[in-house]
Structure 1
Amino acid sequence: MRPALVRVYALAATVYTAFASPALEHRASGICTLSASGSDDAPAFLASASDASCSTITIPSGTTLSIRSKMNMTGLTGKHINLQGTIKFNPDLDYWTDNAFTFDFQDQTAFWLLGGKNLLLDGGGTLDGSGQAWYDEFAKDDSVVRPILLTLFQATNVTVQNINMINGPEWINFVNEGQDVTFRNITISAVSTSKNAAKNTDGWDIFRSDNVVIEDSTINNGDDCVSFKPNSTNILVSNLSCNGSHGISVGSLGQYAGEYDIVQNVLATNIRMSNAQNGARIKAWAGKNVGSGIVKNITFTGFVETNVDNPVVIDQCYETSDSDCAKYPSNTYIQDIWFDDISGTSSGKEKAVVASLSCSPDGRCSNVNVNGITVTPPSKYGDASFECQNVELSGDDASLFGTCDTTD
């Protein structure tokens, strides 16, 4: 433990003993209990995490920890964070703008890094990102960089379960360089109470990680429900209810020149998608100065969609003009894809179109399988229609798409 943390923890114990602060009396059982100090609770929380005698850190029901400074809890081993109460990040925009942890990837920042081996975060409590101040500020200045609510960084054999996550300023969960990570029974809500929308509030972003499970959860947000960023492999997403999102998305990929992105072996199954921009989606950049990569062995199955703008999507011109996409096709190859058993209704934003598979030429999309797509548009648009370009299609529903032009 660093000396600074020893001093802070000792001070907290001395000042707040009467109020059962870090509950040092429970050390013999390995349980350390935190209580609210009335000021910044991050130092005491950090000290308990680094204290070998605190195998379990409890935030009791009815307790709200106010986190006013960043928390680096990486390199932990065998810790159980029993969050029964609330961890609330103070909405001091100036502090977090200057002090949050930073990531080069998509210019992200974070309140809290949690990492190490054999970790459990559970308890039925709440992580609160105080997002409203950020939503309102971002509406005035879209250069504002908003922190991620929970970042698992270099984490192995970690479970996060039975947690409520609310008011995330931007991404809710970021799994960065993780392995054997499970999220279960998570409830996410990122909804603005003003006219300014809660934007970019992805439920999960997986990056450079392997063996990740996300299951049995409910998400109400304003961007991707789950996004598989570069180098995400062996991922299971199961039994999610997503409302207001931008879909279950592979990508975006190929954003950075000189980078080779891989997303491989992903199963997304039993998904309920409502009032969303997209349903099952793959997105990759094209253009002059982009990267390359491969998307391989991806299955979207058992989706029930309601009022979704684009129920089934492959977009290899993501964030790219039509002219640049034609001149500089995507360098991300897409292979062995299954869209199976996808039902429900589209919103009609694309009129009768319920599936659009648009790829760059020269065989960049191959072995794309479509089976059991029964999404219907609003009745005023007539029967469902299906669009494709430069795609090698297979499956029972391939004929619905007609002939996909695979010429240059």
Structure 2
Amino acid sequence: MHYLATISLLWVHLLALASAKLPSVPHASCTVTASGGDDSPRLLAAVRACSETIIPHGTTLNIATRLDMTGLSDKHLKLEGTLSFQPNIPYWTANGFPFTFQTQITFWILGGRNIRLDGGGTLDGQGQAWYNAFASNSSLLRPIILTVTEAEGVTVENIQMKNSPEWHNFVNQSKDVVYNNITIHAVSTNNNFAANTDGWNTYRSDTITIKNSVIVNGDDCVAFKPNSTNILVENLDCTGSHGISVGSLGQFPGVFDIVRNVTARNIHMSQAQNGARIKAFAGPNVGSGIVQNITFQNFVESQVGNPVIVDQCYMTNATACAQFPSNTVIEDIIFDNISGTSTGPVVADIGCSPDGRCSSITVTDLNLSAPSGAAQFTCQNVVLSGDSASLFPTCSTT
């Protein structure tokens, strides 16, 4: 017994010594409340110091200076209250984090590994001041609310986003990012339109999931920008948007864009400009690329301008498009089980450039109607397959 007791005491002593040599660990949890001034520095300090940062329910933090939360690891930001981005237009246009792609700036960059943002709270971009300013200055740089950048293993869920000055979410050079149960609402209170208020844009990113969300906005519900791969979008309700969009691609000379392995399914689209869309630039001074293995499935659309559209002359006039066709190849595309109503006579338009730039496009189970008269299905320069291919009188079918 004495021998066993001696061994036990020795182990306790050794463990105590080992523990004393361990580095200090971050605080388990920190709570940030409003200071009455700019709360950005206190929020940043808490996120750096603590494993979990809580913004309590009923608390509104004033975000008056930019948030750099990159290089994080194993962090949980529990947003129960509100982050309100103050509409100091001169400050943000000069100090928003810049991204060269499509000349964007952002309020907030979030990056690193194993990060969670949740809590049921709100990100408020206070966009009305920006919508008013943009109405008289179309070159105005407007911030994105949240940019996930150079990140891996990020989950954003149970969050409300409202009135972003421009895009709500930008996923840049990231992998394994999940958005779940996000509510987005961006509507102007006057005649100055809430322009370019996309729900999500993905760029140079892989393995992204966007699901179970409701979006009311004034541009793409979700857009897959260059070099977006292995993406799932499902169970979205989009109102007022420009659609679930691949692209636009092939915009910049000398650049080869890729969008590959994308599935968008179980989508409800209403009062929108487009539904399921692929868009690529043409013209004399553009880039090139490939769109491959894209599935649009189970769309229900109501009062949508273009329920199904492939546009290889995006933002290019007909003369230039005919002379300089798109250099973006589109192949292995499926439109399946898409129903609903358009706002005009054309319910589906698959417009491809000549010389085989579109191939292996399958249309199955289309049930689309026009507001009056017979629905029109138009198509150029592509051979369609599937049980709905015969709806398109101007195309060859297999």
TM-score if structure 2 supplies the norm length?
A: 0.92
How far the C-alpha of 1:404 sits from its partner, in A, is: 2.2
C-alpha distance in 2 between matches for 1:405 and 1:367: 12
Where does residue 299 of structure 1 map in the other structure?
A: 295
CA pair 112-353 structure 1, distance change in 2 beyond 3 A: same
Q: Does residue 116 in structure 1 map to residue 112 in structure 2?
A: yes
How far the C-alpha of 1:369 sits from its partner, in A, is: 0.5
Where does residue 88 of structure 1 map in the other structure?
A: 84
How far the C-alpha of 1:403 sits from its partner, in A, is: 3.7
Where does residue 340 of structure 1 map in the other structure?
A: 336
C-alpha distance in 2 between matches for 1:183 and 1:71: 20
* Equivalent residue runs for 1:2-21 within 5 Å: none
Q: Structure 2: which 5+ runs fail to align?
A: 1-24
The count of aligned residue pairs is 373
Q: Structure 1: which 5+ runs fail to align?
A: 1-26
C-alpha distance in 1 between matches for 2:375 and 2:396: 20
How far the C-alpha of 1:48 sits from its partner, in A, is: 1.4
How far the C-alpha of 1:165 sits from its partner, in A, is: 0.2
How far the C-alpha of 1:347 sits from its partner, in A, is: 1.2
Match of 1:37 among 35, 38, 48: 35
Q: Does residue 65 in structure 1 map to residue 55 in structure 2?
A: no
C-alpha distance in 2 between matches for 1:215 and 1:224: 15
8 Å Cα contact 2:361-2:383 kept in structure 1: yes
C-alpha distance in 1 between matches for 2:301 and 2:262: 20
The percent of aligned pairs where both chains have the same amino acid is: 62
Where does residue 23 of structure 1 map in the other structure?
A: none
C-alpha distance in 1 between matches for 2:381 and 2:28: 60
Q: After TM superposition, which residue ranges in structure 1, 4 or more long, deviate above 6 angstroms?
A: none
C-alpha distance in 1 between matches for 2:47 and 2:79: 13
C-alpha distance in 1 between matches for 2:350 and 2:181: 32
How far the C-alpha of 1:29 sits from its partner, in A, is: 6.0
Q: Does residue 315 in structure 1 map to residue 306 in structure 2?
A: no
* Equivalent residue runs for 1:3-402 within 5 Å: 30-51=28-49, 54-348=50-344, 352-379=345-372, 382-402=373-393
CA pair 336-357 structure 1, distance change in 2 beyond 3 A: same
User: Residue 337 of structure 1 aligns to which amino acid in structure 2?
Assistant: I
Secondary structure of the residue that 2:355 maps to in structure 1?
coil
Secondary structure of the residue that 2:197 maps to in structure 1?
coil
How far the C-alpha of 1:392 sits from its partner, in A, is: 2.0
User: Residue 363 of structure 1 aligns to which amino acid in structure 2?
Assistant: G
How far the C-alpha of 1:194 sits from its partner, in A, is: 1.1
Secondary structure of the residue that 1:378 maps to in structure 2?
coil
C-alpha distance in 2 between matches for 1:384 and 1:403: 14
Secondary structure of the residue that 1:199 maps to in structure 2?
coil
Secondary structure of the residue that 1:69 maps to in structure 2?
coil
TM-score if structure 1 supplies the norm length?
A: 0.90
8 Å Cα contact 2:224-2:245 kept in structure 1: yes
C-alpha distance in 1 between matches for 2:243 and 2:33: 38
Larger Rg: 2
How far the C-alpha of 1:128 sits from its partner, in A, is: 0.4
User: Residue 165 of structure 2 aligns to which amino acid in structure 1?
Assistant: P
C-alpha distance in 2 between matches for 1:118 and 1:392: 45
C-alpha distance in 2 between matches for 1:259 and 1:188: 32
Secondary structure of the residue that 2:275 maps to in structure 1?
strand
CA pair 28-224 structure 1, distance change in 2 beyond 3 A: closer
8 Å Cα contact 2:378-2:394 kept in structure 1: no
